[in-house]
Structure 1
Amino acid sequence: MVVLELKLRRMLYVTMLLMSAEATDDEHQLNSSDGCIRRCGDIDVPYPFGITPECALHTNFLIHCHANSFGHTTPLKSNNLTIRRIDVDQPQMSIFFYVTRDCYDAESGERIETKNSATLETPNTMFIISPQNLVTVVGCESYLYVNFHVDKGSWFYVLDSMCTSLDVVPSGNCSVGCARTQISYRFQNMTLEAHSFKNHNSTRGFNNCSYAFVAEENEFNFSRDYITNFPQQKLPLALDWAIGYDTCVKGQSHPFCPCGGTATRHDLEDDINECENPSLHNCSETRYCVNKKGTYTCSCPSWFKGDGRKGGTGCINQLPVIKASIGVAIGVIALVISGTWLYMFSKKRKLIKLKEKFFQLNGGLILQQQLSRQTDSTETAKIFTEQELRKATNNYDEGTIIGNGGFGTVYKGILSDNRTVAIKKSKILDQNQIKQFLNEVVVVSQINHRNVVKLLGCSLETEVPLLVYEFIPNGSLFEHIHSPDKASKLVWKTRLGIAAETAGAYLHSAASTPIIHRDVKPSNILLDNHMTAKVSDFGASRLVPMDRTKLITVVQGTLGYLDPEYLHSNQLTDKSDVYSFGVVLVELLTGQKAVSFNRPEDKRNLAMHFLYSIEEGQLYEILENKIVNEGDREQLREVAELEKRCLSVKGKDRPTMKEVAMELDGIRKIVKHPWVNNTGLNSEETESLLGETSNAYKGYYGTSTSSDAITLDFTGR
């Protein structure tokens, strides 16, 4: 790399000769004498610049004017730099500065010896690089690096220019193949370098060089031809200048004399230290007087503010203001912290009171009393706090939802003792039925039946109580019947076992107080990993007093499983669950949904369709093929007969749930002889399955328009 250094040693920015000639004060006024030469070639040399010492304000402003062999005075030159113009009004000087270039041979791709770097230095702050200049790079796959310096530090720019062919480069517009940016600060010195990203390998032939320069904004117009060949070796660069000393003679003024007046060479060279004599300076305190060549300045100590002068603002102590500001800031911070704490405390208190309110409204005190009377602690339901359940479900995160139904949402949660539970968040609760609800919680929580999902407890600190059950991992019977993948694994033996276990789980007689479930359906029958049935969701259940067999209640349940007698009379009996269970049995045998719009209108209701098929002698046509092939003939006939009785319109004609469970257990013990071919079945074998199907079904279901999962979510329990 070839580096050209342009050092301006303590003279003019563009190398002015140091001259030591002496002159009197009268000879060096700002207004030059008539004997001074004010032109060098075509360039005017205005004051404070001069060609001779007596015509310049100071040796820093001396210009060296060369004479050529023809006797002419040529433009100002030194170290191959040329002055173009000196402007006093700006004040500004224009010089020619180098265009750096980084070139490579078009054939071999080897680097050609060129000047790809140039340095410009100034000896003092009288001369600086003007912000009116632009940093520019020309070429394809080219970039420049320029480092600017001032006494406070340095700044650098990296600017790149890219193009793929000469065709994409517009003339007259520095955009493609050219990039430029403005200088954002007044700098004293700079180093400029031109570079190529890949030695112009991809642009060889139409662009072999990178060009970089700093030039006046209006002195360069881009042309597409510059990509191939950049003709200029130098371009105009603007320098700002100023008189850097403050000593001025009163009586006259000049724009580049900062304090007004006339500066003399004597003033600049013969300095007087005003700070040594209090009568010569106007500082409020001598120790804060700072002497400078030709002048002085006043300052203030730390924590004080002002100009430090007696006739000015002096030095004002800022400590009281700072202390007050710090005090105010601390006060504001303390106020914000205390306000936030009070708000959070108030919010927490309101939340606690709200939880206490819900706890009382939901009968928390009553439940505590009832549970305290229980003798067997292992059978006692636990009252959970709302915070425990919120933590268990990760603030009821949607990812923990395992079920949604007409009565609410079920979340999977993990308690602090690592037990996995199912937490049911109900939608509504009739406050008039709180006592009944609490009784049911106490009774159901005491039941330890292998085929009943255990109720572990509840939380009463929310608007609607939360119920906590043991978690059953293998999904519901509905999923196993109606999911093709799971249904294929649900063999007849397993289905019959699930039916028997489910029938034994209903608590019409197993509990001290009979319980009517009211929502018997496959989605409320859960299966564990061993395919053991677990009846769940006693949220709609009702306790039946020992001296009563019927309850008057608002109809509640799922369409397709509802007892027609209950739907008609609003009278709930234990036989209502028997009817619903009969529908579940039909689903187990047929693999079809209780209500489906995918079937013809007269077959949408599965219970009615099943009974009609029996009446028409088409039992085996409605059964699932898998069951017909796997099942024992006698078992299927017995189960179908049981289903027919369970689906009787009148409750008195239905068996009890205990009788159903006993019959299913008996059917399971029948010796199984799988049918290889069921086409040989005759009418005698199915005669016992045929019977009159009451027309009352048509009154309830004949025009049913219910969907697969419509739930009658009526108010009440």
Structure 2
Amino acid sequence: MALAAEPLASGAMAQCQSITKCGGVDIFYPFGLSSSGCAMAPGFEVHCNDTGNGVYKPFIGRNVELLSIDVQHGQARVRTGISSACYNISSQEMDPADEWYLNLTRTPYRFSDSANKFTVIGCRTLAYIADQDNVGKYMSGCVSVCRRADLKGVTNGTCSLKGCCQTAIPKGLDYYQVWFEKSMNTSGIYNQTPCSYAVLMEASSFTFSTTYLTSPHEFNNTYDGMAPVVLDWAIETANTCEEAEKSRTSYACKSDNSVCSNSSNGPGYTCHCSQGYQGNPYLQGPNGCQGEFPFTPQS
């Protein structure tokens, strides 16, 4: 995935003011369907692709499925692959690990450090998360163990290093890859826990289940192999609001009742409606921030 973030000269044209849909997902400006030319910048283009049997789904980049867009908070939810390593009963060996990465470099997106956690599941599992090889600066890991695959004390809904491990990520992360420590595998405990999993995913979408340990592929099947992850996005034509406000033509906060905020996760800025207003802060007129729900101060 490699997307530029330069503004389109056309801006928000009149025919681009309404909300469009793809596969039941609302597409809000500054995003726009690639076929419409409505996106504020190429990085916000959404491709509405036929995934088979007439089922259309939205994607950013070449193959990152888009689940939802939150204009007010400058976030988008997408799907990312679950890495796994399983013991093969037939071959009596570990299958080659299925290890994923997601590259958001040179795009307006960053992995949300507040909404996501690196999540690892297994009873003999050490998984690593890192940014790009050679040029990267970040690497961490999470270990999940159960002594001799003993599942006593492993509890549904509790991720406490026994059978499940979670760790935070830093701000500014625009690339992540996963791999497993090969010296830790399930070849000796496959009767109890045959598989290990690792994924960077939305923390609020995860609830630990003991069946993720005991049933082959259960965790993978729960999310159909792709877990939700939250991206922070920003308008990157300026590094800060102060810088952006100097050019009213390229300034993205178009609504009269909009407020600019510096991005908390990388360069750029986002727009949101002033308190008491709702709508799209990137649009002027009736589709912008409106006061149907006026704010009443507390006495």
Indicate how the Cα distance of structure 1 residues 216 and 124 shifts in structure 2: closer, same or farther if over 3 A, else same: same
Structure-2 residue corresponding to 1:189: 175
Structure 2 matches for 1:39-118, cutoff 5 A? 39-51=21-33, 52-67=35-50, 71=54, 73-76=56-59, 80-106=63-89, 109-115=92-98, 117-118=99-100
1:102 Cα deviation from its structure 2 partner: 1.1
Matches within 5 A, 1:689-704: none
C-alpha distance 67-198 of structure 1, shift in aligned 2 (>3 A): closer
Is residue 225 of structure 1 aligned with residue 211 of structure 2?
Answer: yes
Residue 219 of structure 1 aligns with an amino acid whose one-letter code is S
Deviation, 1:34, is 5.4
Q: Which residue of 1 aligns with 2:277?
A: none
Aligned length in residues: 243
Q: Check if 1:127 corresponds to 2:119.
A: no
The structure, 1 or 2, with the larger RCO (C-alpha pairs under 8 Å, 6+ apart) is: 2
SS in 1 for 2:50: coil
SS in 2 for 1:244: coil
CA distance in 2, matches of 1:151, 1:56: 34
1:142 and 1:195 map into 2 onto residues whose CA distance is 7
AA at the equivalent of 2:79:
F
The question of 1:9 aligning with 2:6 is answered no
Report SS of the residue matched to 1:63: strand
One-letter code aligned to 1:105: N
Q: How big is each residue's C-alpha offset from its partner over 1:279-315, in whole Å with a ceiling of 9 and x where there is no partner?
A: xxxxxxxxxxxxxxxxxxxxxxxxxxxxxxxxxxxxx
- Name 1:179's counterpart in structure 2: 165
Give percent identity, aligned residues only: 26
Shift in Å, 1:36: 5.9
- Relative to its length, the structure with more helix (as a share) is 1
Bigger strand share? 2
TM-score calculated relative to the size of structure 1? 0.31
Distance change in 2, residues 1:186/1:219 (3 Å)? same
- Mapping for residues 553-564 of structure 1, pairs under 5 Å: none
- Whole-angstrom CA distance in 2 between matches of 1:129 and 1:151: 20
Matches within 5 A, 1:115-514: 115=98, 117-124=99-106, 126-131=108-113, 132-148=115-131, 153-163=136-146, 164-175=149-160, 176-228=162-214, 229=216, 230=219, 231=221, 232=223, 233-246=225-238, 247-249=247-249, 252-253=254-255, 254=258, 255=260, 258=269
8 Å contact kept, 1:96–1:237? yes
Instruction: Report the structure number with the largest CA radius of gyration.
Output: 1
Amino acid corresponding to residue 42 of structure 1 in structure 2 = G
One-letter code aligned to 2:32: G
User: Does structure 2 retain, via aligned residues, the 8 Å contact 1:53–1:62?
Assistant: no
Secondary structure class of the residue paired with 2:85? strand
Q: Among residues 25, 28, 38, which one is paired with 2:20 in the alignment?
A: 38
- Give me the whole-angstrom Cα distance separating, in 2, the residues matched to 1:74 and 1:214: 22
SS in 2 for 1:158: strand
In 1, Cα distance between equivalents of 2:107 and 2:53: 38
1:268 maps to none
Q: CA deviation at 1:177?
A: 0.5
CA distance in 2, matches of 1:259, 1:234: 28
Mapped to 2, the partners of 1:220 and 1:262 lie a distance apart of 32
Contact 2:94 2:187 in 1 (8 A): no
1:50/1:183 CA distance change after superposition, 3 Å: same
Post-superposition shift, 1:206? 1.1
Aligned to 2:293: none
Unaligned 5+ segments in structure 1 are 1-7, 13-17, 264-717
Which residue identity lines up with residue 129 of structure 1 in the other structure? F
Could you list the per-position Cα deviations for residues 236-272 of structure 1 after superposition, in whole angstroms to 9, with x for gaps in the alignment?
0011100100344279455478498979xxxxxxxxx
Distance, in Å, in 2 between the alignment partners of 1:168 and 1:111 is: 27
Equivalent-residue separation in structure 1 for 2:235 and 2:133 (angstroms):
18
Unaligned ranges ≥5, structure 2: 239-246, 262-267, 272-280, 284-299
Kept in 2: contact 1:120–1:189 (CA 8 A): yes
Residues 86, 92 of structure 1: 8 Å contact kept: yes
TM-score, length of structure 2 as denominator length:
0.70
1:154–1:45 Cα change, 3 Å: same
Q: 1:98 to 1:215 in 2, by over 3 A?
A: same
1:190 Cα shift? Answer: 1.1
Task: Write the distance in 2 (CA, Å) between the matches of 1:72 and 1:107.
Answer: 36
CA contact (8 A) 2:30 2:44 kept: yes
| Contact 1:50 1:56 survives alignment (8 Å) | yes
Cα offset, 1:227, TM superposition: 0.4
Contact kept in structure 2, 1:137 and 1:159, CA below 8 Å: yes
Partners of 2:109 and 2:137 in 1: how far apart?
17
Aligned to 1:48, the other structure's residue is in SS state: coil
Tell me if structure 2 keeps the 8 A contact 1:84–1:94.
yes
